[in-house]
Amino acid sequence: MKMKNNTYKKIEIVGTSTTSIEEAVQNAVTKAGESVRNMRWFEVVETRGAIHENAVTQWQVTLKIGFTLED
């Protein structure tokens, strides 16, 4: 079986969550999926958060999402 030679593109997106890093990633992937087809992988390139009155109030995760370009 011969593998198809694909071409990929990456976009950068920031997901947020008041609960966890994992939820911030899932929120970003879910939102990107509304307009991007053929998503294949993600890379976490930055993790940060917001602090209010000495407590973490929000997680912010920057992702690069790779997707296959259509023929």
Domains of the chain, each with CATH number or no CATH = 14-68 (3.30.1660.10)
Phi (first) and psi of residue 33, to 5 degrees = -65, -15
Report the pLDDT value the prediction gives residue 71, as an integer from 0 to 100. 75
Residues 44-52, mean pLDDT to the nearest whole number: 97
pLDDT higher than threshold 90 for residue 58: yes
At residue 2 the predicted structure's pLDDT band, cuts being 50, 70 and 90, is low
d(CA 27, CA 49): 15
Report the pLDDT value the prediction gives residue 17, as an integer from 0 to 100. 98
